């Protein structure tokens, strides 16, 4: 039997690893595309040089790539190898994790759009300011010359193979070590924080909330989508807007693994000063935004928004590893199996390449110029590597849009999932299976949110009444969950009556045609 702390650390570490898998895989693939299609010169042209142009380009490119604060590390390492200025790299590192199509639409749909747009503008200000401060005061003589422009691979299969091989070698490089540090630190920290410890924090009427959020969120990992979900919960519960901005900026944007990588690259003194500046700038904007952007009519006495930053098990709980396995698998949804399989293939390929080809002979062969001139056939057009690289990056953006429609299902399918989870929750309640009911309620809550976003991206609008009944249903689910967490099954059964009433109001929009399932 394992203690609650051991189980909590293992569970939170596994959940963070699953959460980061998709965006880290994207980061590896983007790094491979930059190295073998754009090339060092093309990468430098994409991001520009020093000054405002490079900083703004870094922010713009970062906002369209679906990566996180861990997935950005292999891309930044490739930018460094290509000779991109340090200030531009840091502006990209600050900008890229915050917004991607998946998380942006979630935020715009389930919270006040003007708040999310102001947060995005704040991230632009801090990213550019961080780059300027580094270039002018901290980063002198930290730019690295290009390590050498490697030849572009021959068109066709060789070019694709070289991208995959570059991503595979990066997957077993120092990047994976920094990712491991970020994941492990977050899991250990969450496992050590007592169960429910943050449930009554981050209040709007507590002026320390932005500082507390910065202290908790800055070293911890939070993916863009999970971070937006936490923001949505904070807005629903009327929590501090300043704390929400701190979560958005330093929580989604920075983690322990990234900090260690920066210290290894630039030295700990420079990085500590730079992160101190970022934290102060974040707090200044957070306190400035507290009153103007606060829109809640009332503030809840507690929240579950930060449960995943605390131990999931109460003190004294003991169990087997099967408990951890079951809960980690609940994190695996639609995209995660593909991402985990892709990462496993890259790691295996990278290990084999390092073992049997340590001198990179395969890369040399792949980048050799073809012995004969390329065919002029209409079916075999020559596409320059940089152009193909830009097309590949655009393809990743297109993939994220496709993933948007996969992750957020159409109304008919989404409502069917809600009905199924509802039935499972009530069956578990009847069987007195408290843990299972809690899990089903959490999933039910998530599905209602995904359903709202699915409707929005397909219709371009959101019925205010649907938003109202969805929030009411989630409030009743939260009440029921609180009783279950307190171990009071009788009150949970009483609360289930209110849950069912709220669900019937929610159901009207799908069965009676208020929202037509497509």
Give the percent of the chain with pLDDT over 90: 58
Residue 132 has pLDDT above 90, yes or no: yes
Q: Which fold has domain 408-511?
A: 1.20.120
- Yes or no: say if 462 and 415 are a contact pair by the CB < 8 Å rule: no
pLDDT mean over 369-394: 62
pLDDT mean over 83-111: 84
Question: Which whole-number Å values give the CA distances from 368 to 137, 152, 153, 171, in the listed order?
Answer: 43, 8, 7, 24
Q: Give the residue ranges of DSSP H helices in 48-85.
A: 52-64, 72-82
Report the run of H or E that residue 283 belongs to, with start and end.
Answer: helix 268-289
The full 3-state SS of 320-348, as one line of letters, equals CHHHHHHHHHCCCCCCHHHHHHHHHHHHH
> Rounded to an integer, what distance in angstroms lies between the CA atom of residue 408 and that of residue 389?
29
- Yes or no: say if 170 and 77 are a contact pair by the CB < 8 Å rule: yes
Q: Is residue 382 very low, low, confident or very high in pLDDT (cuts 50, 70, 90)? A: low
* Chain position carrying tokens 């490739």: 78
| Domain assignments of the chain as residue spans, ordered by start | 2-367+383-402, 408-511
- Yes or no: say if 320 and 9 are a contact pair by the CB < 8 Å rule: no
Buried b (16+ CB within 10 A) or exposed e, 253-285: bbbbbbbbbbeebbeeebbeebbebbbebbbeb
> Rounded to an integer, what distance in angstroms lies between the CA atom of residue 12 and that of residue 189?
9
> Rounded to an integer, what distance in angstroms lies between the CA atom of residue 198 and that of residue 69?
23
Residue 380 has pLDDT above 60, yes or no: no
Chain center to CA of 148:
33
Q: Among residues 64, 71, 90, which one has the least CA distance to residue 29?
A: 71
Task: Give the per-residue pLDDT at 517.
Answer: 46
> Rounded to an integer, what distance in angstroms lies between the CA atom of residue 46 and that of residue 84?
10
CA within 13 Å, CB half, 60: 9
Q: Is residue 160 very low, low, confident or very high in pLDDT (cuts 50, 70, 90)? A: confident
Task: Give the per-residue pLDDT at 513.
Answer: 56
Q: Is residue 383 very low, low, confident or very high in pLDDT (cuts 50, 70, 90)? A: low
- Yes or no: say if 193 and 4 are a contact pair by the CB < 8 Å rule: no
């Amino acid at each position: 039997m394992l203690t609650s702390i051991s189980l909590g650390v293992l569970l939170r570490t596994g959940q963070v690893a699953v959460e980061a898998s998709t965006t880290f895989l994207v980061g590896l693939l983007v790094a491979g595309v930059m190295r073998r299609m754009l090339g060092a010169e093309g990468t430098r042209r994409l991001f520009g040089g020093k000054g405002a142009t490079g900083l703004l380009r870094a922010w713009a490119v970062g906002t369209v790539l679906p990566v996180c604060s861990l997935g950005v590390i292999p891309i930044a390492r490739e930018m460094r190898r290509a000779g991109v200025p340090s200030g531009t790299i840091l502006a990209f590192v600050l900008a890229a994790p915050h917004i991607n199509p998946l998380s942006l639409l979630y935020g715009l749909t389930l919270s006040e759009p003007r708040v999310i747009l102001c947060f995005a503008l704040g991230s632009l200000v801090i990213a550019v300011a961080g780059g300027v401060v580094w270039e002018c005061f901290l980063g002198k003589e930290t730019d690295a010359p290009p390590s050498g422009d490697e030849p572009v691979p021959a068109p066709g299969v060789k070019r694709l193979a070289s991208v995959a091989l570059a991503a595979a070698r990066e997957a077993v490089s120092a990047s994976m070590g920094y990712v491991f540090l970020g994941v492990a630190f977050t899991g250990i920290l969450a496992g050590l924080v007592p169960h429910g410890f943050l449930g009554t924090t981050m209040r709007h009427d507590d002026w320390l909330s932005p500082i507390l959020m910065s202290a908790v969120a800055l070293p911890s990992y939070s993916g863009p989508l999970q971070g937006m979900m936490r923001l949505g919960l904070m807005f629903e519960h009327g929590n501090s807007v300043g704390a929400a901005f701190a979560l958005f900026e330093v929580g989604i944007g920075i983690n322990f693994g990234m900090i260690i990588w920066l210290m290894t690259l630039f030295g700990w003194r420079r990085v500590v000063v730079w992160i101190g500046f970022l934290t102060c700038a974040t707090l200044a904007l957070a306190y400035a935004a507290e009153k103007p952007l606060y829109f809640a009519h009332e503030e809840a006495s507690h929240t579950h928004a930060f449960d995943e930053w605390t131990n999931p098990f109460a003190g004294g709980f003991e169990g087997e590893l099967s408990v951890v396995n079951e809960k980690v698998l609940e994190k695996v949804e639609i995209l995660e199996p593909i991402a985990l399989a892709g990462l496993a293939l890259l790691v295996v390929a990278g290990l084999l390449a390092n073992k049997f080809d340590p001198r990179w002979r395969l890369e040399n062969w792949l980048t050799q110029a073809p012995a004969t001139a390329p065919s002029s056939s209409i079916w075999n057009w020559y596409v320059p590597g940089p152009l193909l690289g830009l097309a590949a990056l655009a393809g990743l953006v297109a993939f994220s849009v496709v993933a948007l429609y996969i992750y957020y299902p159409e109304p008919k399918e989404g409502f069917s999932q809600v009905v199924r989870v509802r039935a499972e929750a009530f069956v578990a309640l009847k069987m007195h299976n408290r843990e299972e009911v809690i899990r089903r309620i959490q999933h039910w809550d998530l599905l209602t949110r995904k359903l709202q976003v699915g409707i929005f991206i397909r219709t371009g609008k959101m019925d205010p009444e649907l938003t109202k009944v969805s929030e009411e249903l989630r409030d009743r689910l939260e009440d029921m969950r609180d009783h279950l967490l307190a171990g009071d099954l009788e009150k949970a059964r009483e609360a289930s009556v209110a849950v069912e009433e709220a669900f019937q109001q929610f159901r009207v929009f799908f069965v009676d045609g208020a929202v037509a399932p497509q």
